[in-house]
Chain A
Amino acid sequence: MNTHVNSDFTPDALVIGAGIAGLQSALDLADQGLQVLLVERQPSIGGHMIALSKVYPTLDCASCITTPKMSAAAHHPNITILTNTEVEGIETRDEVHHVRLLQKPTYVNFDKCIGCRLCEYACDTEYPDPFEEGLGSVKAIAVPFTNAIPQKAVLNAEVCGTCGSCARVCPTGAIEYDQQPRRLMIRTDAVIVASGFNLNALTVKPQYNAQRSRNIISPLMLERLLAPHGPYGRVLRPSDGKMPSSIAFVQCAGSRDESIGVSYCSRVCCMYAIKQAMLLSGALPLADITIYYMDIRAFGKGYEQFYQNAKAMGINFVRGKVARINPVEDGDLSLHVETTEDAENPLQERRHDLVVLAQGMIPGWQPSATTPVTCSANGFVAAPTLTAPTATTAPGIFVAGTAAGPKDIVDTIAEAGAAAMQASQYLYQKRSAILVG
Chain B
Amino acid sequence: MARVVNPSLVKTIRKHGAGRHLDISACFNCGNCTAVCPLAEDSGGFPRRVIRMAQVGMEKELLASEELWRCYACGECTQTCPRQADPAGFMAAARSYAIARYDVTGLAALANRSLLGNLAVFGLFSSIFSALLLSRMAPGNPSLPLFHFLPGEWIHNIGVALFVVVGLSAFFGMASMTWRVWSQQRSGGTSLRLATLPGAFYSAIAEALLHRRFQQCNEDAGATEHAAQPWYVRPWLVHASVMGGFVAMLIATTLDFLIKPIGSAVPPWYPMRILGTVGGLVCLYGLSIVLLRRAQGREHPYKKSAFADWFFPTLLALTVLTGIVCEVIVYLPAPTTFGHMVFFAHVVLAMDVVALLPLTKFAHVLYRTLALTLFAWRHAPAKVTASAQAEA
The closest CB in chain A to the CB of B83 belongs to: A258
By the criterion CB–CB under 8 Å, are B28 and A258 in contact? no
Kindly identify which residue among B29, B36, B42, B84 contacts A323, using a CB–CB cutoff of 8 Å.
B36
Kindly identify which residue among A206, A336, A337, A340 contacts B223, using a CB–CB cutoff of 8 Å.
A206
By the criterion CB–CB under 8 Å, are B222 and A347 in contact? no
Kindly identify which residue among B31, B82, B224 contacts A340, using a CB–CB cutoff of 8 Å.
B31
By the criterion CB–CB under 8 Å, are B82 and A257 in contact? yes
What residues on B are CB-neighbors of A324 within 8 Å?
Answer: 35-36, 222
The closest CB in chain B to the CB of A259 belongs to: B80
Complex interface residues of chain A between 327 and 369 (CB less than 8 A to chain B): 336-340, 345-347
By the criterion CB–CB under 8 Å, are A321 and B223 in contact? no
A347 and B35 contact, Cβ closer than 8 Å, known pairs A338-B44, A340-B30, A340-B48: yes
Contact with A along B34-60 (1 / 0, CB 8 A): 111000111110001000000000000
A207 to B82, CA, bound (A): 13
By the criterion CB–CB under 8 Å, are B35 and A321 in contact? yes
By the criterion CB–CB under 8 Å, are B48 and A207 in contact? no
A209 to B31, CA, bound (A): 19
Say yes or no: is A247 at the interface (Cβ < 8 Å to chain B): no
What residues on A are CB-neighbors of B43 within 8 Å?
Answer: 346-347
A347 and B40 contact, Cβ closer than 8 Å, known pairs A207-B222, A258-B81, A322-B35: yes
What residues on B are CB-neighbors of A347 within 8 Å?
Answer: 34-35, 40-44
A67 to B350, CA, bound (A): 81
The closest CB in chain B to the CB of A251 belongs to: B30
From residue B300, how far is it (CB to closest CB) to chain A in Å?
12
By the criterion CB–CB under 8 Å, are A338 and B35 in contact? yes
Say yes or no: is A294 at the interface (Cβ < 8 Å to chain B): yes
Say yes or no: is B79 at the interface (Cβ < 8 Å to chain A): yes
Say yes or no: is A95 at the interface (Cβ < 8 Å to chain B): no
Say yes or no: is B183 at the interface (Cβ < 8 Å to chain A): no
Complex interface residues of chain A between 165 and 205 (CB less than 8 A to chain B): none
Contact with A along B8-49 (1 / 0, CB 8 A): 000000000000000000001111101110001111100010
What residues on B are CB-neighbors of A340 within 8 Å?
Answer: 29-31, 48
Kindly identify which residue among B30, B34, B81, B84 contacts A346, using a CB–CB cutoff of 8 Å.
B34
By the criterion CB–CB under 8 Å, are B31 and A339 in contact? yes
What residues on B are CB-neighbors of A100 within 8 Å?
Answer: none
What residues on A are CB-neighbors of B41 within 8 Å?
Answer: 347
By the criterion CB–CB under 8 Å, are B42 and A321 in contact? no
The closest CB in chain B to the CB of A338 belongs to: B31
Contact with B along A200-224 (1 / 0, CB 8 A): 0000001101000000000000000
A244 to B141, CA, bound (A): 88
By the criterion CB–CB under 8 Å, are A337 and B31 in contact? yes
From residue A288, how far is it (CB to closest CB) to chain B in Å?
20
From residue B359, how far is it (CB to closest CB) to chain A in Å?
34
A39 to B295, CA, bound (A): 53
A346 to B47, CA, bound (A): 13
By the criterion CB–CB under 8 Å, are A259 and B79 in contact? yes
A346 and B44 contact, Cβ closer than 8 Å, known pairs A294-B28, A340-B29: yes
A252 to B32, CA, bound (A): 11
Contact with A along B84-96 (1 / 0, CB 8 A): 1000000000000
A130 to B44, CA, bound (A): 43
The closest CB in chain A to the CB of B29 belongs to: A340
By the criterion CB–CB under 8 Å, are A258 and B82 in contact? yes
By the criterion CB–CB under 8 Å, are A337 and B81 in contact? no
A417 to B40, CA, bound (A): 52
A294 and B34 contact, Cβ closer than 8 Å, known pairs A259-B80, A324-B222: no
Say yes or no: is A295 at the interface (Cβ < 8 Å to chain B): yes
Complex interface residues of chain A between 223 and 268 (CB less than 8 A to chain B): 252, 256-259
A207 and B30 contact, Cβ closer than 8 Å, known pairs A258-B83, A259-B84, A321-B82: no
A256 to B30, CA, bound (A): 11
A323 and B80 contact, Cβ closer than 8 Å, known pairs A340-B31, A347-B42: yes
Say yes or no: is A150 at the interface (Cβ < 8 Å to chain B): no
What residues on A are CB-neighbors of B224 within 8 Å?
Answer: 206
What residues on B are CB-neighbors of A401 within 8 Å?
Answer: none
Say yes or no: is A320 at the interface (Cβ < 8 Å to chain B): yes
A207 and B83 contact, Cβ closer than 8 Å, known pairs A321-B30, A321-B31, A321-B35: no
Complex interface residues of chain B between 219 and 236 (CB less than 8 A to chain A): 222-224
From residue B31, how far is it (CB to closest CB) to chain A in Å?
3
From residue A327, how far is it (CB to closest CB) to chain B in Å?
13
Contact with A along B316-350 (1 / 0, CB 8 A): 00000000000000000000000000000000000
By the criterion CB–CB under 8 Å, are B81 and A320 in contact? no
From residue B149, how far is it (CB to closest CB) to chain A in Å?
57
By the criterion CB–CB under 8 Å, are B31 and A320 in contact? yes
Kindly identify which residue among A207, A337, A338, A346 contacts B80, using a CB–CB cutoff of 8 Å.
A207
A340 to B35, CA, bound (A): 10
From residue B208, how far is it (CB to closest CB) to chain A in Å?
24
By the criterion CB–CB under 8 Å, are A320 and B30 in contact? yes
Kindly identify which residue among B42, B44, B82, B223 contacts A256, using a CB–CB cutoff of 8 Å.
B82
The closest CB in chain B to the CB of A206 belongs to: B223
Find the residue from B82, B222, B224 having the highest chain A CB count within 10 A.
B82
What residues on A are CB-neighbors of B83 within 8 Å?
Answer: 258
From residue B162, how far is it (CB to closest CB) to chain A in Å?
44
Interface residues of B (CB under 8 A from A): 28-32, 34-36, 40-44, 48, 79-84, 222-224
**17 interchain pairs (CB within 8 A)?**
A206-B222, A206-B224, A207-B223, A252-B30, A258-B83, A259-B84, A320-B31, A321-B31, A321-B32, A323-B35, A324-B35, A338-B35, A338-B44, A340-B30, A345-B42, A345-B44, A346-B34
A sample of 18 more A-B contacts (CB under 8 A), given A259-B82, A295-B28, A347-B42, is A206-B224, A207-B36, A256-B82, A319-B31, A320-B32, A321-B31, A323-B34, A323-B35, A338-B31, A338-B34, A338-B48, A339-B31, A345-B42, A345-B44, A346-B44, A347-B34, A347-B40, A347-B44
Interface residues of A (CB under 8 A from B): 206-207, 209, 252, 256-259, 294-295, 319-324, 336-340, 345-347
Counting from the closest, the 3 A-B pairs by CB-CB distance are A323-B35, A338-B31, A346-B44
